[in-house]
Amino acid sequence: MRQIVILECTETKDRTYLTMKNKRNNPERLELRKYNPRLRRHTIYRETK
């Protein structure tokens, strides 16, 4: 049931991170605060389709 998802920065549209999530427990899109190396600060990363 676990699936690999790609996280995309909401500010620069960089796709820097990969993670896994369980589709059955979390059907909505994942949103995490992660470090953006280009901006050198933490930004919100959202799951892409």
Query: Which residue do the tokens 């899109």 mark?
Result: 29
Confidence label for 27 from pLDDT (cuts 50, 70 and 90) = very high
Query: What structural domains and CATH numbers belong to the chain?
Result: 2-47 (2.20.28.120)
What does pTM read for this prediction?
0.88
The tens digit of pLDDT for each residue in 29-47 reads 999 999 999 999 999 999 9
Distance in angstroms (rounded) separating the CA atoms of residues 12 and 35: 12
